[in-house]
Amino acid sequence: MAWASIIGQEAIKGFLQRAILQGRIAPAYCFWGPEGVGKDALALEFAKLLNCQAPRRSAGGIEACDRCSDCQQAARLEHPSIRLVFALPPPKNRSESSALLGLSDDHIALLREELRRKAENPYHNITLPNALQIHISAIRDLQRTLSLAAPRPGRRRVVIISEADALTTEAANACLKTLEEPHDDVVFLLTTSRRDHLPPTILSRCQQLYCPALPEEALVAALRERHRLSETEARLIAAFAQGSYAQALTFLEQDLRNLRQQVLSLLRLALKPGRFRLQLLHAIEELFGSADRIRAELLLSLLAFWLRDAFILSHGGGSDLLLNADEEGTLRRFLQRFPEADIGAMVIAVEHALQQLRRYVSIPLLVVTLLMRCRSAAIPSRPRGVSQCPSSL
């Protein structure tokens, strides 16, 4: 499928093809933009094309043949000239000379599985437990490889540093040295969704390519073609995915409507009159007790989208602006029952909780705090003797 395997991003695809055809390939590129829009996919496809034995030319373009042994190795992420660097768990011993030497057998097995998933779907984000940073040992491995392997005439070696903002300061400094060394046959491809977390010294060495969020129509088409979804289903998921195919895939694996009901029933409990605390705590424990960060993020995002829709309706916005168009009736009932609710404050509280999720926090505790904030925003405190206890949403 070559370039066609990547959804949208036509401007970047065209730019990279022209760079090859005009023989003006920069020593380093940085693909930046929101999460899940195909930055790694673009880098991997470009790397494959740079190593393809028989690239195909078309009108104004060039693409990998997908048939030669180089293309096949590249597609399996096993090409000796394409190096993929990403966050790994910290080495047990800081002086460990190689990033992989410090990993347990369990981690190695997980890593293999993650690489298999990445090869199958370049939009997959490699995640290993406790792997938050790219450590210096990974860059040392890279430097060793670059100094040892002999260049093959007419071919390029490619180093892909995925989510390069995860480089530790030490690793970033080492990486900068490597970028500064002349390697005529090496192309560095950095990807990041947090460009401002990369040192300017590294960025200034790279040609920066912005990869925008995918248009909703492109996502709908991809979901229908690749996953055989109905138009309605594809539209629902695309609306929630907000331009990220990776996010759409996460939603696809879940039963979105059911999850939305579960998180809304928590909100209902939190806004219940009378005694609600014990019941709420049990319900939070049940839904979030064993949830990992990704699942918690999904659940809270669904709550954020729902409240955002309530906000739109409360400000006179039309149904066409809603992500939860199928829930319009419930949303309107909610607004009628909580006429004084500060919905903007509720949305901000959920967004704050979503940011907090990225840190080491107890997820159930975070949700308790969030829902108590939502309660205060929905039911403003009143003088004694005045009751304001809506019975349900």
Q: Contact residues for Zn ion (CB under 5 A)? A: 52, 64-65, 68, 71
Separation in Å, CA 271 to CA 117, 295, 296, 393: 42, 23, 20, 8
User: Looking at beta carbons only, is 47 or 249 nearer to Zn ion?
Assistant: 47
CB 160 within 8 Å of CB 84: yes
Measuring CA to CA, which residue among 373, 378, 307 is closest to residue 339? Answer: 378
Nearest-angstrom CA–CA distance, 130 and 148: 31
Minimum distance from residue 54 beta carbon to Zn ion (Å): 5
Minimum distance from residue 157 beta carbon to Zn ion (Å): 16
Minimum distance from residue 77 beta carbon to Zn ion (Å): 15
| The two structure tokens encoding residue 160 | 């892909």
Minimum distance from residue 50 beta carbon to Zn ion (Å): 10
CB 73 within 8 Å of CB 90: no
User: Looking at beta carbons only, is 49 or 239 nearer to Zn ion?
Assistant: 49
Instruction: Identify the residue whose tokens are 């996919």.
Output: 41
Beta strands at 56-58 and 61-63: parallel, antiparallel or unpaired? antiparallel
Minimum distance from residue 82 beta carbon to Zn ion (Å): 13
SS3 255: coil
Q: How far is CA 257 from the centre of its chain?
A: 21
Minimum distance from residue 78 beta carbon to Zn ion (Å): 14
Nearest-angstrom CA–CA distance, 80 and 66: 17
Minimum distance from residue 68 beta carbon to Zn ion (Å): 3
User: Looking at beta carbons only, is 71 or 110 nearer to Zn ion?
Assistant: 71
- CA-based Rg of the chain, rounded to a whole angstrom? 24
Minimum distance from residue 15 beta carbon to Zn ion (Å): 21
What are φ and ψ of residue 167, in 5° steps?
Answer: -60, 135
Nearest-angstrom CA–CA distance, 206 and 179: 9
User: Looking at beta carbons only, is 55 or 243 nearer to Zn ion?
Assistant: 55
User: Looking at beta carbons only, is 65 or 218 nearer to Zn ion?
Assistant: 65
User: Looking at beta carbons only, is 54 or 109 nearer to Zn ion?
Assistant: 54
Nearest-angstrom CA–CA distance, 286 and 291: 9
Nearest-angstrom CA–CA distance, 307 and 299: 13
CB 39 within 8 Å of CB 193: yes
User: Looking at beta carbons only, is 56 or 224 nearer to Zn ion?
Assistant: 56
User: Looking at beta carbons only, is 25 or 325 nearer to Zn ion?
Assistant: 25
Nearest-angstrom CA–CA distance, 334 and 391: 11
Minimum distance from residue 117 beta carbon to Zn ion (Å): 23
SS3 157: strand
User: Looking at beta carbons only, is 58 or 387 nearer to Zn ion?
Assistant: 58
